[in-house]
Structure 1
Amino acid sequence: MKTSLFFSAKRDTLSWLTLHNFASGVAACQQAKELRPHPAFGFISAPGAAGFMGTGWWQALIRAVQEQSGYDCPHILDCGADPGYALFAASQGQKLIVLEAPSPVLESVNEVYERLGGHVFSMRPPSFDLISTLSGV
């Protein structure tokens, strides 16, 4: 699977935060901006979130966090092992996903994402799980 040079360099230096809600996302962005002007993290959804929350929910959550915080961050939607969720996410403009599927399926979905300038993670990258205590909620 090939990846754009820009994304592969950026991906290797990012930390990922598992995002569950608006308040913790905004709190993470605000805390990070206080520490450094250009935070080096992105958000990843909960495992399998494409199936139980949906692409629209994820993209709306990310948009709201970005609008409130002013931080335009990379974000990954976890599609579990379901290529249907992954392809639907692609049709909705999602550029980064996790798809833990068998190799032939993974290769087919990856071809779609490459054409769209996206990336498919074949396994979930390590992440810090944002819990509600971060935001005080």
Structure 2
Amino acid sequence: MQAHKFTFISQKNIIFSFNKYTTDTNAYFFTVNHLSQFYFINSHIKNNYCPITFISPQNAVAYMGVRWWMQLIKFGKQLFSNPIDDALDCYDNAGLALAALRLGQKKILFNSKSKQFNLLKNRADSLQAIILTKRSESFDLTELRFSYF
């Protein structure tokens, strides 16, 4: 694996909050949308045994797509020895949520008030996938600024 090509712009408040978060919890939940955030987490995380859950930003399936998320997670998993889990936020996009399930996504976030929720829930159950209706509290790294070197 090659070394990453990102440098992180010093943001003391994010780094301080991140360090506090990673020392005060038994399971990590991160909202991510870019590969650089995986490198940042990997370089700052102290506990290699604590489970990590990566969550996409709200409604990310609509503007980034299913394959983007699955490839991002596939590559991100290679960086960690921690147990990794992930959830793709599909908001109320039933067609894209179904596409995610068909492509093998095991956890999705979906709005329970959607008219298609029960249909999607039945399909998820048949595929042994899980539909979450509420976002977990997570450390949001989508505001982390970085640059290429």
- When normalised by structure 2's length, the TM-score is 0.71
Could you tell me which amino acid in structure 2 is paired with residue 20 of structure 1?
N
Following TM superposition, where does structure 1 have runs of at least 4 consecutive aligned residues deviating by more than 6 angstroms? none
Answer yes or no: is 1:132 the counterpart of 2:139.
no
Separation of aligned partners in 2, 1:120 and 1:126: 16
Q: Do the aligned residues in 2 keep the contact of 1:30 with 1:69 (CA within 8 Å)?
A: no
Label 1:120 to 1:36 Cα distance change in 2 as closer, same or farther (>3 A).
Answer: same
The residue that corresponds to 2:7 in the other structure is none
Change (3 A) 1:105 1:60: same
CA RMSD of aligned residues (A): 2.0
Q: Between Structure 1 and Structure 2, which shows a larger proportion of helix residues?
A: 1
Q: TM-score, normalised by structure 1?
A: 0.77
1:68 maps to: 79
| Bigger mean CA deviation after superposition, 117-126 or 82-91 | 117-126
The percent of aligned pairs where both chains have the same amino acid is: 24
Unaligned runs of 5+ in 1: 1-12
Pairing partner for 2:64 from 53, 58, 63: 53
Aligned-residue offset at 1:27: 2.1
Q: Indicate whether 1:97 and 2:108 are aligned.
A: yes
Equivalent pairs counted in the alignment come to: 121
Mapping for residues 77-96 of structure 1, pairs under 5 Å: 77-96=88-107
CA contact (8 A) 2:52 2:82 kept: no
1:64 maps to a residue whose letter is: F
Post-superposition shift, 1:92?
0.6
- Please tell me the residue identity of whatever aligns with 1:83: A
Output the CA distance in 1 between the equivalents of 2:119 and 2:108: 14
Q: Which residue of 2 aligns with 1:20?
A: 33
Q: Give 3-state SS (helix, strand or coil) of 2:79's partner.
A: helix
Secondary structure of the 1:123 match is coil
Answer with 1 or 2: which has the greater Rg: 2
